Amino acid sequence: MFTVSLIAAPAAANLDQDLPGGLAAQWHGSDPRWLAPGIAAEFDVATVPSDLDRVWSDLQQIGIDLAIQPAQGRRKRILLADMDSTMIAQECIDELADVAGVGERVADITARAMNGELNFHEALVERVGLLAGLPEGTIQEVLASRITMAPGGQVLVATMRAHGAYAALVSGGFTAFTESVAAQLGFDENRANTLLAEDGVLTGHVALPVLGREAKVEALEEIAARLGLTPEDVLAVGDGANDLGMIQMAGAGVALHAKPAVAAQAQLRINHGDLTALLYLQGYAASDFVTA
Determine the 3-state secondary structure of 216 from DSSP.
helix
Q: Which amino acid appears at position 27 of this protein?
A: W
Q: Any catalytic annotation for residue 84?
A: yes
* Peptide bond connecting 209 to the previous residue in cis, omega within 30 degrees of 0: yes
End-to-end CA distance of the chain: 34
Of the listed 51, 53, 65, 82, which one is catalytic?
82
Distance CA 277, CA 268 (A): 11
Distance CA 160, CA 279 (A): 8
Question: Which residues, other chains included, contact 220 with Cβ-Cβ below 8 Å and sequence gap of 6+?
Answer: 78, 80, 170, 231, 234, 236, 246, 249, 250
Q: Any catalytic annotation for residue 82?
A: yes
Tell me the three-class secondary structure of 91-133, residue by residue.
CHHHHHHHHHCCHHHHHHHHHHHHCCCCCHHHHHHHHHHCCCC
Of the listed 84, 94, 233, 239, which one is catalytic?
84
- Give the other-Cβ count within 10 Å of 275's Cβ: 24
Distance CA 81, CA 181 (A): 12
Single out the residue of 123, 127, 126 nearest to residue 114, CA to CA: 123
Single out the residue of 214, 234, 235, 236 nearest to residue 224, CA to CA: 234
Q: Which amino acid appears at position 68 of this protein?
A: I
Which positions are catalytic?
Answer: 82, 84
